[in-house]
Amino acid sequence: MMDDFRATEIIFGPQHPGIHGNFGTRLELEGDLVHRARMVPGYLHRAFEKLMEQRTWMQNVAIVPRICVPDPDVNEQAYAMAIEDIMGIEVPRRADYIRTIILELSRIASHLMSLGGLGGAIGLYTMPMWVNGERDYILDLMEQLTGARVYHIFIWPGGVRWDIPDNWPRKVNKVLDHIETMLPHYYSLFFESKVTDARLKGLAPFDSRWAVEHGVTGPNLRATGFEMDVRRFDPYAAYEDIDFDVVTRREGDGLARALVRWNEVRQSIRIIRQALEDIPGGEHRAKTPPPLAFMVPPGDSYARVESSKGEYGYYVVSKGGKYPYRVHVRGPSFTHGIDVLEQLLPGNEISDVALITGTLEVCPPDIDR
């Protein structure tokens, strides 16, 4: 039997529309079934961890959002939280609320983009076009608040950079209303399609125990029925004051992962509406040393946030002085993209490779950093 086995090795990638970035896969195929998969990361390595040791604490704020392209604000938030924890800075409540709004807007944009990517991977090309239109409204809002469309450089240790402009909350509400009216159209376009049903249902399933053992976090873990969300169990920013549901599905397959993301968009809209309504007055940033004299006392801290892809963490080590001693970035895709994928892909067809990568929402920039 073994003599009959002939594997074809192909190199899949490093560019594919299903994922946010360049990322290769070395596949050994048996017919059109994957026999063995080996991930080839490294195309987006920019040595950010080394670079951060050579920049001052505040200069690093400009570097961290570049680690994750579709969802950049979680990096700023986690980096700021770790420093605030070491320094003992109390963040003003207003800043916490502004951070919450920004993070959730970013989550909506990222989830919509990932669903668009899934649509592209199964051949529903209307989906990526439409969701990118909605994402553009969110980028417009970001631009009006933070001054940049993608890399906002807005959340920094001690608060946020600027206060909300006057008519900005009204615009946010308008955009949210628009997205909410469009959501049913997207649902009927994507989830009621027979193609989605055939391609995503039963795709690469795993259960909660397997997920926890392999370090799966975020929407992928919640799709297995395990109600676990950093926003709920370790609340940061203003999440402890806000009422929202942790979305779960119990199936744990590709369709469940897509549906969790889909329903989280609604929850994010709910969170932003509450935050805009309850936002307290006061300062938007705590008193911190000026950027050039920003020193952090010796210590270390791990800060975690819930990104659109899973648990995002920053482990910051300070030995005192103006420069970090070590910054370690724990991206969610570091486990999803290498080990989990290598175990999920064998046995699937080659046409499902991009789709499984898409449903796990692997983001190569945070593997390579």
Partner 1 sequence: MVEDSYDHTKRKDQRTGTYKPKNIPVDDVMNEVIRTFSDAERIERKGKSAEVVVGKFTVSETLAIFKKRGYDHFVALTCIDLIEEDQFEMVYHLFSYGAKVHVYLKTRIDREGPSIDSVIEVFRPAITYEREIKEMFGVDFPGNPRLTQFILEDWEGPPPMLKDFDSIQYVQDHFGIKVRNPKTLPPKWKKAGDA
Partner 2 sequence: MSNIVKKTVSPFRALRFLTRKPHTIRIPHEPHNDIEGEPLPTERYRGIHINDWEECISCGLCAMVCPCDAIEMVKIEGEEKTRPEVSYGRCCFCGFCEDACPKDSLHMTSNHTMIHVDERKFTFLPTPNLKEFEFEYMIDPDTLCQIKRKKKGNVIVQGEPYPSK
Per CB under 8 A, 203 contacts partner 1 = yes
Per CB under 8 A, 62 contacts partner 2 = yes
Per CB under 8 A, 305 contacts partner 2 = no
Span near partner 1 by CB under 8 A; candidates 112-120, 132-140, 160-168, 208-216: 208-216
Query: What are φ and ψ of residue 284, in 5° steps?
Result: -105, 0
Residue 140 binding partner per list partner 2, partner 1, none, with a CB distance cut-off of 5 to 8 Å that depends on partner kind:
partner 2
Polymer length in residues for the chain:
369
Interacting residue with partner 1 among 256, 265, 271, 353 (CB under 8 A): 256
Query: What are φ and ψ of residue 228, in 5° steps?
Result: -140, 120
92 prior amide bond cis, ω within 30: no
Residues touching partner 2: how many (CB under 8 A)?
A: 34
Q: Which residue has the tokens 């192909």?
A: 10
Q: Considering only residues 33-62, where is the footprint of partner 1 by CB under 8 A?
A: 41-42, 45, 47, 49-50, 53-56, 59
Query: What are φ and ψ of residue 215, in 5° steps?
Result: 70, 30
> Residue 236 is encoded by which pair of tokens?
């940061």
* Eight-state DSSP code of residue 351: G
Q: Which residue has the tokens 């920053």?
A: 314
Residue 127 binding partner per list partner 1, partner 2, none, with a CB distance cut-off of 5 to 8 Å that depends on partner kind:
none
Query: What are φ and ψ of residue 232, in 5° steps?
Result: -95, -45
Nearest to 20 by CA among 344, 340, 331: 331
Residues 6+ apart with CB under 8 A from 136: none
**What is the contact surface with partner 1 in residues (CB under 8 A)?**
41-42, 45, 47, 49-50, 53-56, 59, 85, 191-192, 197, 201-215, 217, 226, 228, 233-234, 250-253, 255-256, 259, 300, 302, 304, 311, 313, 315, 317, 321-323, 325-326, 328, 330, 334-335, 338-339, 368
**What is the contact surface with partner 2 in residues (CB under 8 A)?**
55, 58-63, 132-133, 136-137, 140-141, 143-148, 151, 153, 161-162, 165, 167, 170-171, 174-175, 178, 188, 290-292
